[in-house]
Amino acid sequence: MTEIFTGAQPLVGGEIDPEAFHDRIDALDKSDVVDRVLIGYSSVWPHNHAVVPYALGRTSRFSPILAHRPGVMPPTAAARYFASLDVVSRGRLAINVVVGGSDKDLQREGDSLPKADRYRRATEYLDVVRRSWTSAEPFDHEGEFYSASGVSLQTRPYQGQVPIFMGGDSDDAVEFGAKHADLYMLWGEPLAGTEERIKRVNRAAEEHQRNMRYSINLRLFVAETDDQAWQLARAAEHEISEAQGTNRFLRSSKGDTSVGRQRALALTDEELHDDCFWTGLTKLLGGFANSQALVGSYDRVYSTLKSYRELGIDAFLFTTGVEAAWDPSIEEFVSEVKKGL
């Protein structure tokens, strides 16, 4: 069965809205459709290391994908933190390792390491984290970026190891993911680009004798007819356009130099790709990761999702609307996707 992910942030219009976040988390906890929820990371957002434990304590089934930057805490402390969260939540945790595409955003937290070095650091970081979770004996580590002695955890992850998710388009990202990722998270791209990326990561994973799983991030505008779906998409486009110059909607900064963002922006030379892949919001939001959309009737979008599934996509991260959030309006359709693909 296809896995379904979505995203949730405690932000509405750039401000923390606890009640709205409570409502989103409670609804997702009751959903029989959503398997995991991505809680993202930025130096200016509410800290997800606070938000995720709160959400886990409030719910019984809610399963977060906690975005985490190597460098914000030592790897041994991170291993203990994640193991503890996984135990108290009885195995509901996954981690999205984010090396970071925006130098400016990392520098706000005092991290000035160049991007190429950050991937080497992240590899060492996860080497230590995974060893901390699995080593039967205390161990010492002396590396390029970290050193520790007598590392020993009394609390191990409920799942044995917490699943590691990651994404990225650079050569360094692909090599890093091939070594450590349990699931590779792809930004939305047309079918040809998605196939090319899967083949590229698979080649790297095979060199490490690993099998890779994939998710893809898509915003849905679906309805009974194509015209109705396009009315939803154009309404969202108009609302986001009217809010340009404000912080109402999350968008990529010009300082984000990630390859993924550049690929996303390159797609905006054409508004429509394949049968229903739409880049209208991608241009407005500066190449933001969840701005790529599918627009069309239920049958049209289902057929396109089936094509992605046949390429090797194991999970879909779906959002909708101007806020790129989960909404009950798509739940019935996504339930059919989950059961049928």
Structure tokens at 207: 């060199």
The mean pLDDT value for 177-199 works out to: 96
Confidence class for position 194, pLDDT limits 50, 70, 90? very high
Residue 294 sits at the vertex; the CA angle it makes with 293 and 300, to the nearest 5 degrees, is 180
List Cβ<8 Å contacts ≥24 apart for 144-151.
144/120, 145/120, 145/121, 146/74, 146/75, 148/74, 148/75, 148/76, 151/76
Give the pLDDT of residue 243.
82
Element counts in the chain: helices (H) and strands (E): 12, 15
Q: DSSP states of 20-58 as a string?
A: HHHHHHHHHHH-SS--EEEE---TTSPPHHHHHHHHHHH
pTM over 0.85: yes
Contacts of 14 (CB under 8 A, 6+ apart): 246, 247, 248
Task: Return d(Cα 108, Cα 229) in angstroms, integer.
Answer: 40
pLDDT (0 to 100) of residue 337:
98
End-to-end CA distance of the chain: 7
What sign has the CA pseudo-torsion 223, 227, 232, 233? Answer: positive
Average of pLDDT values for 274-286? 92
The pLDDT, as a whole number, for residue 160 is 96
Question: Residue 261: pLDDT band by 50, 70, 90 thresholds?
Answer: confident
Residue 71 φ/ψ region, left for φ over 0, alpha for ψ in the -120 to 50 degree band, beta for the rest: left
* Least confident window among 23-32, 191-200, 255-264: 255-264
Percent of the chain predicted with pLDDT > 70: 95
Q: Are 113 and 82 in contact (CB under 8 A)?
A: no
Beta bridge partners of 38: 7, 65
Is the CA virtual torsion 194, 195, 200, 201 positive or negative? Answer: positive
What is the CA angle 144-150-154, rounded to 5? 120
Mean pLDDT (the chain) is 92
What is the CB neighbour count within 10 angstroms for residue 51?
A: 20
d(CA 261, CA 245): 20
Per-residue pLDDT at 215 exceeds 80: yes
Every domain of the chain and the residues it spans: 3-219+314-340
Architecture of domain 3-219+314-340: Alpha-Beta Barrel (3.20)
User: Would you state the structure tokens that stand for residue 13, as one six-digit string?
Assistant: 């219009």
Q: What per-residue confidence (pLDDT) applies to 252?
A: 60
Model pLDDT, residue 330? 97
pLDDT band at 18 (very low <50, low <70, confident <90, very high): confident
Tokens 């899967």 belong to 198
Report the C-alpha gap between 74 and 148 in whole angstroms: 9
With bands split at pLDDT 50, 70 and 90, how would you rate the model's confidence at 109?
confident
Segment 158-162 shows an average pLDDT of 97
Higher pLDDT, 323 or 31: 31
Give yes or no for residue 253 having a pLDDT over 60: no
Question: Would you say 151 and 100 are in contact if contact means Cβ atoms under 8 Å apart?
Answer: no
The 10s digit of each residue's pLDDT in 75-93 is 999 999 999 999 999 999 9
> Residues 304, 188: contact at Cβ < 8 Å?
no
Strand-pair category, 277-278 with 272-273: antiparallel
Query: 3-state class of 311 per DSSP?
Result: helix
Q: Has residue 15 got a pLDDT over 80?
A: no
pLDDT at residue 126 is higher than 70: yes
Task: List 220's β-bridge partners, or say none.
Answer: 294, 320
pLDDT band of 12, cuts 50, 70, 90? low
Q: What is the per-residue pLDDT for 104?
A: 78
Q: Give the residue from 14, 18, 90 showing the smallest Cα distance to 59.
A: 90
Q: Which residues contact 58 (CB under 8 A, 6 or more apart)?
A: 22, 25, 26, 29
Lowest mean pLDDT among 255-264, 289-298, 319-328: 255-264
